[in-house]
Amino acid sequence: MFAVIHAVLPVFALILAGYVCRRSGKLGPAASSELNRFVVWLGLPALLFDVTAASSWQQVWQPGFLLAFGAGSAAVFVITLLARLRQQRRLVDASIDSLSASYANTGFIGIPLCVLALGQDSLEPALLATLVVVCVLFGVAVVCIEVGLQTEKKLHHAVLKVVKALASNPLIVSPILGACWAATGQPLPSAVHTFMKLLGGAASPCALVALGLFLAQKQEGTRQGSMALVLAKLIIQPLVTWFLAFRVLHLPPLWANSALLLSALPTGTGPFMLAEFYRREAAVVSSVILVSTLGSLVTLSICLMYIS
């Protein structure tokens, strides 16, 4: 429990910092939106580029772990998407809800928690899970959103509009550019690497402060359905991952334990960034992040007892 609290406490502290700054009037009503725009256009693209540019094929190619962790995330995303669409939700909003139910906070909580609980060797699976979440899962959600935003009736016109929108989206372009650089086998120039580290390092803290700023404002949206997303994130996703990692694939202990622990993480700030960026209702997303982070104190502790 201490390891979980140690990893989760900074998340609440940053959210609280944003909340207090807004309530005290130190930051204005536009601060949440503007800070989130910084994250989407500068901080997160720099982080995505830096992570992918520094990755090698040998690091990424861990098929058992990728299948166990990735399938757990994908299963929850698809199930939630289908359920939301059956409830007559628009594809854009259903995609954001699906990301809320499957987007693990690997960067801010997962990496320090794995190192604390499983040792320094768990850093590799934690970084690999971060790649899956912030590049693959996030990218799929952005594609679904862009498709849902199109009103063009003719298929080829709609496809062209989606491709054009994706080509100008920094969250899609940055990891692709990073992967292209990684393919050259050359390290980033020192100055560029430092720049990306500084800029990318601000992404998660700023997103959490922006969330606190948003929560401090008067909420007019509904939070209906947020509990189902929390249950999907904290219970269904780790159960699917546990079954694959321990019962089907029989992964080595370090990789199996890491997959389970990382799948049981609470929802990260990615869905909130998208909700704000695309100007969708963010009340459900913010509720899922807060409640799942609080609930993870219990579920992560159970996972730690299981793997110890």
Indicate whether 56 pLDDT > 80: no
Write out pLDDT tens, residues 191-232.
999 999 999 888 888 888 888 888 887 665 556 678 999 999
% of the chain surpassing 90 pLDDT: 34
Write out pLDDT tens, residues 280-289.
888 889 899 9
Q: Which residue has the higher pLDDT, 45 or 166?
A: 45
Average pLDDT over residues 77-106: 93
Indicate whether 44 pLDDT > 70: yes
Exposed, middle or buried: residue 116 (CB in 10 Å: 0-12, 13-18, 19+)? middle
Q: Which residue has the higher pLDDT, 159 or 75?
A: 75
Residues in the chain: 308
Indicate whether 3 pLDDT > 70: no
Which one is the CATH code of 2-14+29-215+224-307: 3.40.630, 1.20.1530, 1.20.1440, 1.10.760? 1.20.1530
Q: What is the pTM of this model?
A: 0.81
Instruction: Please state, rounded to an integer, the average pLDDT across all residues of the chain.
Output: 86
So what's the pLDDT on residue 158? 60
Q: Report the C-alpha gap between 20 and 5 in whole angstroms.
A: 21
Exposed, middle or buried: residue 253 (CB in 10 Å: 0-12, 13-18, 19+)? exposed
pLDDT band at 235 (very low <50, low <70, confident <90, very high): very high
Indicate whether 70 pLDDT > 60: yes
Cα–Cα distances in Å, from 299 out to 141, 238, 262, 263?
Answer: 26, 9, 11, 11
Indicate whether 39 pLDDT > 90: no
Taking each helix axis as running N to C, give the angle between helix 138-149 and helix 63-86, from 0 to 180 degrees, rounded to the nearest 10: 30
Average pLDDT over residues 15-33: 90
pLDDT band at 59 (very low <50, low <70, confident <90, very high): low
pLDDT band at 269 (very low <50, low <70, confident <90, very high): confident
pLDDT band at 4 (very low <50, low <70, confident <90, very high): confident
So what's the pLDDT on residue 47? 82
> Which range, of 18-32, 101-115, 163-177, averages the lowest pLDDT?
163-177
How many alpha carbons lie under 13 Å from residue 226 in its C-beta half-sphere?
19
Q: Report the C-alpha gap between 40 and 46 in whole angstroms.
A: 10
